Chains A and B, each alone.
Chain A
């Protein structure tokens, strides 16, 4: 009996030691009076950390962090997104925040940011202290970062826009409507080119670059009374127009079926390098990658225009981008976090430097006017498209499912597995299963 008790006690002790040795979070380290640096947890996508695959971004963030650590006696603890899938990472962050485990700084994808505001506090006072005017952000960005109380909960980092890229040497005048696009595409296909490429596979690029701009150009709404608006009525007809257009590009041979393997805009870059593509739907953020893989002469051949709509003068574009949040409830950390974000990414000087370094579009209108912003021939056009055509994805919890199901629909239409009506019918069925 004694021996048995001894064994039980031994096992219990081992368990207690294991629990006691487990690491607790260090983000709750208090602003102590000792010389120990304050730890600030920085939760971010890898491309906005010193581990970025883009050496310019990596160096920029690394230098900024080192300088800030030295001047303010802090230590950054970098936590990367747990998955390459942003939806998954955002879902995990949401779980974490709901459980009260908030990082001090968090990079949140713009389209889900409004769902996080319930865990955040307004930043207006701190923004004013750092000289950042929330009303300077583009309208679409303000829709994201401001809550229903008109207070500002985040700092929009940078934006992007979806456009039609076309070879000026092959397409003297960019098509303004989808009808013109089809005509130009057919002529180019006869000459041996791929008339038009676009993301058409299982990936968010398909939704934001191929689907929504064409749909929004017709005045369609994505959400109505918390449900997809295009499940019925006139909006359904508008979405069918989009799917029929996609089907037509395949049937006319303008677009090869292999686009169903492209889920992101950057998947098209290799095709651009090969030199056989005449036009493609892409994003502003591709330009820095294209400049890296194309020669100067090859890059000169490319120009941008708004994605054609179904009628003259009707265009649409999707803007994305990330938002910095400061979830910490520790006031000292909040002020330091805000100071870091302002001086690295968000105040006038930092935003210009960040935009110049990365080639990303600023989300603030006044930055575009600055003489210090390095702009190329694309910049003024992107500014115009951001203010005239850009919309953001609706900040509803059902958006990821809507996007995922529509990616399946487009992919089915391109591969010929379903007609546009069948694909949209399947979408309705899937959404009704919620």
Chain B
């Protein structure tokens, strides 16, 4: 009967396009509904609530609050706001660049080792991945022991053994940011390595062979053939690690706590301090919205680049 109805309607093209009956069995709504509800509760609602709170002067310990844009105003006029942006910018840009660079280098080495069936490539891959598997808090503790500036510090001990003086790894305003970035590069290289390694492994070998036959040397093949083919994965990796680094909190908290002063207080740490030290929920939410905006901009920027590359 349904088929007869469809046939009747399709014989009236105008009506059919306007009044086409959508069969229940074809609708995706029932299949997407459970996921939609879960996303609504666990994702959209908290995000909307944080945005709403950013327009209040809510405090964690007081029940009354008012709607105001002062929280945003306070964020931008806070003493140390530019310092915080600078610290975050330096931390993110150097971390991302060196994570990608070191990850690519290690991926290339492991890929070549795998192709030539060299022993030890699995061990190297596993050793690098171990750093990524360790929780951020523990990484902070480990690097804090390494960077300890007293005679009990591991790096200081080796520097003194070699005849140098110990360095103020975590107490100097400039060096502390460099130390933090090094620890983050160590932590995040494995993630880049594994993505880029996957891209190298799935690369069509015939293209590389053709380039070889055409007389392209190793560097030329890397720059003109391998890297362009890997670009979609490179851009995805770039987007992911940039957002991850912007959101970095656990390792920084244990390693420097944002100090000395506020020299390593990145945006994520500032949010934590606003809410749990200053009890200022409104201001913390406003900073969180700022961070969300930055992450969304970066993500959309990369997606646009990816589309231009024809990656998606």
Contacts and interface: CB of A to CB of B under 8 A. Distances in A.
Q: Do A and B bind each other?
A: yes
B261 A258 contact: no
Given A8-B30, A258-B171, A417 B263 contact: yes
Interface in A378-434: 397, 400-401, 403-404, 408, 411-412, 414-418, 426, 429-430, 433-434
Contacts of A397: 59, 61-62, 279
Nearest to A15: B37
15 contacts: A8-B30, A87-B276, A91-B60, A94-B60, A94-B61, A98-B63, A257-B168, A258-B168, A260-B260, A261-B149, A261-B256, A416-B173, A417-B260, A417-B263, A434-B280
A390 B171 CA distance: 31
A244 B273 CA distance: 26
Contacts of B74: 433
Contact of B261 (A98, A403, A404, A408): A408
How large, as a class, is the contact surface on chain A? Answer: 35 or more
Given A202-B258, A274-B150, A404 B168 contact: no
Contacts of A63: none
B59 A417 contact: no
Contacts of A403: 277
A369 interface: no
B260 A411 contact: yes
A346 to B, nearest CB: 27
Contact of A415 (B152, B171, B279): B171
B25 interface: yes
B204 interface: no
B205 interface: no
Interface residues of B, number: 44
Interface of A: 1-4, 7-8, 11, 14-15, 83, 85, 87-88, 91, 94-95, 98, 115, 201-203, 256-261, 263, 270-271, 273-274, 276, 397, 400-401, 403-404, 408, 411-412, 414-418, 426, 429-430, 433-434
Interface of B: 24-25, 27, 29-30, 33-34, 37, 59-63, 74, 77-80, 144, 148-152, 168, 170-173, 256-263, 273, 275-280
Contacts of B60: 91, 94-95
B12 to A, nearest CB: 22
Contact of B259 (A8, A201, A256): A201
